[in-house]
Amino acid sequence: MSTAHVIALDAMGGDRAPEIVVAGANVARLRYPGTTFRLFGQPKKLEKLLGRFPKLAADTEIVPSEMVIEPDMKPSQALRKGGQSSMRMAIDDVKAGAASGIVSAGNTGALMAMAKLALRTLPGVHRPAIASMIPTHRGESVMLDLGANIDCSADNLVQFAVMGAAFARSVQGLSHPTVGLLNVGSEESKGHEEIRRAAEILRSAHLPLEFYGFVEGNDITEGTVDVVVADGFSGNIALKTAEGTASMYTDFLKATFRRSVFSKLGGALAKPALHALFKRFDPRRYNGGMFLGLNGVAVKSHGGTDAKGYANAIGFAVDMLTHGFNEKVIEDLELLSHDTGIPAEVAAQ
């Protein structure tokens, strides 16, 4: 399958922009041959940085933009005043068809608001959602929504299931991913009305996924299902709780190996094995918040990541394009509308 895609990069977004954006693009260029870039930001800085990577420079076009969306800017403010920002211009580049995907490590709220406004949603999609990969006992799973939608109807949750499964099929190559709805118990009677109705729809629908039923918080890291679907409120809380717990455990573990001469020596001997453990949970591996359901591909990189992590975020955008993620979502929502007898556009409401 061809991977010759043009990716628009918001070169000015993120804690260490534009340095890691350019360095990340250089890593991604080697991993995904044929991929080219359109780099939005301050031309003098970008030219200087590209000078260090002549091969990347040959595959990259700089598009000048002097304005930067600040990390604390409100989405509404970004919409009003950010028209000439590197973030907005990179998004508009996808809308205009010059690029097929956009990656930014900048302000999440501004990115979502501007991407929604400029790209709009895919036919049939009512609300976009944020998805991410998460480490599990078995490997990794997809989880969504991670905070784009505070209140979710049954139909929203069903659409998230469709999008999450299409993502697992595209990026992980699973043919019939298992999908679970995040709830407070596994019995059919558990949870609020919307989640129970979403389960009913998913149980009877004919989609390229296997609906597992309800899953609980501990099932996320257990890897019980390939795709965990949640409303944006509890999904965001679950993700951040998992991150906080892992970080606490790592800190205590490091302190453990400083406790005595013996434990220091023990830590030194076990260093290669411990290194493998930390690598397993390396946040760079899971760097990339995918905005699913937009008419275009948009990926949010963590603001504090490094070149490798940024390259992973670019990788998700490339994979979604290469494997036709958006086309799969459109097809599956049409399948769903056949099941329910309601046109996709209306079923989405």
Binding site for a second copy (CB under 8 A): 135-137, 147, 150-151, 182, 184, 191-192, 216-222, 230, 232-234, 236-249, 251-253, 256-257, 259-260, 262-263, 265-274, 276-277, 280-281
- The CB-of-259 to a second copy minimum distance in angstroms stands at 4
Cβ closest to a second copy, residue 194 vs residue 306: 194
Q: How far is the CB of 230 from a second copy (least distance, A)?
A: 8
Q: Which residues pair with 38 in a beta bridge?
A: 8, 61
H or E element that contains 130: strand 129-135
Q: Which CB, 4 or 265, lies closer to a second copy?
A: 265
Find out whether 119 and 199 touch, Cβ atoms under 8 Å. no
CB of 226 vs a second copy, minimal distance in Å: 16
The least distance separating a second copy from the CB of residue 278, rounded to whole angstroms, comes to 10
Determine the residue type at 338. H
Which stretches of the chain are DSSP H helices? Answer: 19-31, 43-50, 54-58, 75-81, 86-95, 108-119, 154-171, 193-204, 217-222, 232-256, 261-269, 271-280, 307-322, 325-340, 344-347
Which amino acid, residue 199? A
The residue (of 31 and 192) whose beta carbon lies closer to a second copy is: 192
Judged by CB, which is closer to a second copy: 95, or 197? 197
253 vs 346, beta carbon nearer a second copy: 253
Nearest distance, CB of residue 264 and a second copy, angstroms: 8
**Which pair of tokens denotes residue 205?**
């629908």
Query: Using an 8 Å Cβ cutoff, are 9 and 20 in contact?
Result: no
